Amino acid sequence: MRFVIKLFISMCIITLCSQIGRKLPTLAGLIAVMPLTGLIVLIWLYLDNPCNLTLMTDYTKGALWGILPSILFFFVAFLCFQKRLSLWIVLCASFAVWIAAAVIHQLLLK
């Protein structure tokens, strides 16, 4: 049952962002990257593993350093959209950069 609740909340956040994005795209972007997702994950991790501060510390460290690959993803997407590239090229380029940065992220945090 807890899994279904988690799934429902996640779907609501994504749906809310896409609906807001139709009229206020910058606000939807802000909501999509705000710490709301991190907050929800922290709560779920804590409820699933009460008092495991090592897990919480490791998660927050990964999230903190994980911001850099995400910034690169959106930066590449922004540049590609400014050049009027197609959505699929933008997504491929952005994810390629994100994956490279995520691999480096994981290697550096080990």
pLDDT band at 95 (very low <50, low <70, confident <90, very high): very high
Return the higher-pLDDT residue of 24 and 31: 24
Q: How far apart are CA 35 and CA 37, in angstroms?
A: 5
Full-model pTM: 0.74
Element (H, E) at 82: helix 53-82
- Average pLDDT value over all residues in the chain: 90
Over 90: is that where the pLDDT of 51 sits? Answer: no
pLDDT at 27: 87
What spatial distance separates the first Cα and last Cα of the chain, rounded to whole Å? Answer: 34
pLDDT of residue 89: 97
Q: How far apart are CA 49 and CA 64, in angstroms?
A: 21
Percent of the chain past pLDDT 90, that is, above it, reads: 51
Rounded CA separation 90/88 (Å) = 5
For residues 50-57, give the mean pLDDT.
Answer: 92
pLDDT band at 38 (very low <50, low <70, confident <90, very high): confident
